Amino acid sequence: MIKFILRRLGISSLVLLGGSVLMFVLTINSGDPLADLRESNDPNRDSLIAQRINNMGLDDPWYERYGAWLAGVGRCVVGSCDLGVNRAGIPVIDLLGNAAAATLRLVILSTLLAIVIGIGIGILTAIRQYSGFDYIVTFFAFMMYSLPVFWAAVLLKEYGAIRFNDWIVSPDLALWQIALVALVLAVVIAGALGGDARRRLLTGGATFLFVFAAMFYFDAVDWYRQPALGIGVVAVASIGAALLIVMLSSGLGNKNVLYAALTTVGAGIVSYFVFSSQLGEPTWGVLFGLFAVAIVIAVLSGALWGGYSRTMAIWVSVATATVMSLVIVVDQALSAWAGYLGSVRNGRPISTIGAETPNYDGTFWQEFLDKGTQLLLPTILLTLVSVASYSRYTRSSMLEVLEQDYVRTARSKGLSERVVITKHAFRNALIPITTIVAFDFAGLIGGAVLTETVFGWKGMGELFRTGLVQVDPAPVMAFFLVTGTAAVVMNMLADIAYAFLDPRIRR
């Protein structure tokens, strides 16, 4: 494996080198970098032209300019990267840092959500092949996949920001609106869980009643402006997540794993009270420190309770601790929502442009909400587009695996459908999905140009577009360096994941 990785790194380095030469030559020959100044009537035009020629090195041959850039990249090995300056004389490394930070915030969250949701939906549609649920998901998947991104972004800005901001000033839902939402969720959940007509009716009816009652209560107590979860909801949600994770992994019959997960939840509830003051106004360092403590507790819980299923118990406990940590973060953020509404943009929380509110000064959780609301709409857009492809690929891969002989053998041995799906079919179905994830993430690192443009994000896509328009190779080459390296690294991780998913590949 080490020899394989080193060989791939060597080949990838040569590919990146050749690609960088081609990218540099194409960029500098795509137009005139002095065109705007030649047409200017500024009395200092000649000095401005001379300054730009000096900044961009236009008097030097192209290979000397490329060599200077490559030498600056080579200094990254010793921690002193020099990617040159743009035509205005601003260091590109500073522009790249800001652009990469904005894009990574957007890409990582949307990719993780798309993977989890898309793969989950794909598995359900494969299991419920040719059912009504399968047809509905297929319809919406193809619709989302074919939607023009700019049009969907405009719709999100209209209904997810402008109209929502108008509604949140005095939130009120009519009974027919509450009933409609409850009915849609009831139909979706009943179709996803499947079963005979009686089971679907009971599932749908229970879902309808629960959602209708919850939304009616929220509307009555003005929950939409003053939301809160509290330790009760946190505990119930965490216990539910623990039971679901145990059911999908080892089954509720494995008491060792079940007790490990529930012990992790119990320790989390105690920690909620012990660290309440730190959670009220934390820093990012405190949050990550508390999360590390939660993981350590989860590992100890799994090791103590695991017995013969120790490895499984540890992984289940870690997953439970992660979910519970996210629920606690949501609880703390919701508790700051009312104060945030009163401190930002005249009570209009969802912004239609930009990555954060300029010069916003609030508490930690209010600033968390500010960045989160700015991130909301572009994340939803990218997630919807990616979920469509992930769900289709997963469905196709699962259907192919479910027809294999070893799956029929597992069923004939009397294994439960849960074991057949999670331990035999799903792991092998992930192999082609791994390739799609690697390419998708590496592509999105380059910046969702249309999405960033519509929502006014100054990310990698904006950096690349500006460099091309201005015939400025420095930002373009910085873009190429990051995206090319990301493509190499993600494909390398995909190869390693293949070996983990299928031990035969290691040989």
Q: Is it the case that residue 355 has pLDDT exceeding 80? A: no
- Which pLDDT band, with edges at 50, 70 and 90, does 465 fall under? confident
Q: What pLDDT does residue 200 have?
A: 87
Mean per-residue pLDDT for 230-237? 92
Q: What is the average pLDDT value for the chain, to the nearest integer?
A: 87
Q: Which long-range contacts (CB under 8 A, 24 or more apart) does 26-34 make?
A: 27/467, 27/468, 27/471, 27/472, 27/473, 27/476, 27/477, 28/62, 28/65, 28/471, 28/473, 30/468, 30/471, 31/471, 32/471, 33/58, 33/87, 33/470, 33/471, 33/472, 34/58
Q: Identify which of 124, 77, 70 has the alpha carbon closest to the alpha carbon of residue 390.
A: 124
Domain end, chosen from 221, 237, 252, is at 221
Decide: residue 119, CB within 10 A, 0-12 exposed, 13-18 middle, 19+ buried: buried
Whether 247 and 381 share a structural domain: yes
Q: What pLDDT does residue 503 have?
A: 67
Whether 111 and 32 share a structural domain: no
Whether 243 and 207 share a structural domain: no
Q: Is it the case that residue 316 has pLDDT exceeding 90? A: yes
Q: What pLDDT does residue 164 have?
A: 92
∠ CA(389), CA(443), CA(438), 5° rounding?
70
Least confident of 188-202, 279-293, 441-455: 441-455
Whether 41 and 67 share a structural domain: yes
- Which pLDDT band, with edges at 50, 70 and 90, does 23 fall under? very high
Q: What pLDDT does residue 398 have?
A: 92
Mean per-residue pLDDT for 428-456? 77
Q: Is it the case that residue 502 has pLDDT exceeding 80? A: no
Tens digit of each residue's pLDDT (9 = 90 or more) over 53-94? 888 888 889 999 999 899 988 888 777 888 888 888 888 888
Whether 347 and 248 share a structural domain: yes
Q: Is it the case that residue 505 has pLDDT exceeding 70? A: no
Please measure the distance between the N-terminal and C-terminal CA atoms of the chain and give it in whole angstroms.
8
Whether 198 and 228 share a structural domain: no
Q: What is the percentage of the chain residues whose pLDDT exceeds 90? A: 31
DSSP tag of 60: S
Longest CA span, the chain:
87
CB 55 within 8 A of CB 89: yes
Based on C-alpha coordinates, what's the Rg of the chain?
A: 27
Domain that holds residue 25: 2-94
Whether 238 and 355 share a structural domain: yes
Whether 238 and 99 share a structural domain: yes
CB 83 within 8 A of CB 477: yes
Dihedral of CA 261/262/265/271: which sign? negative
Tens digit of each residue's pLDDT (9 = 90 or more) over 368-402? 998 888 888 988 988 888 888 889 999 999 999 98
Q: Identify which of 166, 202, 103 has the alpha carbon closest to the alpha carbon of residue 347.
A: 166
Give the HSE-up count for residue 169: Cα atoms under 13 Å, Cβ half-sphere: 10
The amino acid at residue 130 is Y
Least confident of 1-10, 23-32, 335-344: 1-10
∠ CA(94), CA(95), CA(101), 5° rounding?
90
Whether 350 and 403 share a structural domain: yes
Q: What pLDDT does residue 345 have?
A: 67
How many residues would you count in the chain?
A: 507
Q: What pLDDT does residue 334 have?
A: 93
Q: What proportions of the chain, in percent to the nearest 5, are helix, strand and coil?
A: 80, 0, 20
150 or 322: whose pLDDT is higher? 322
Q: Is it the case that residue 350 has pLDDT exceeding 80? A: yes
Q: What pLDDT does residue 286 have?
A: 93
Q: Please state the pTM of the whole predicted model.
A: 0.83
Q: What pLDDT does residue 83 have?
A: 86
Q: What pLDDT does residue 208 have?
A: 95
Q: What is the percentage of the chain residues whose pLDDT exceeds 70? A: 97
Whether 90 and 163 share a structural domain: no
Q: What pLDDT does residue 133 have?
A: 83
Domain count, the chain: 3
Whether 197 and 248 share a structural domain: no
Mean per-residue pLDDT for 395-417? 88
Mean per-residue pLDDT for 153-164? 90
Domain end, chosen from 155, 188, 221, is at 221
Whether 209 and 342 share a structural domain: no
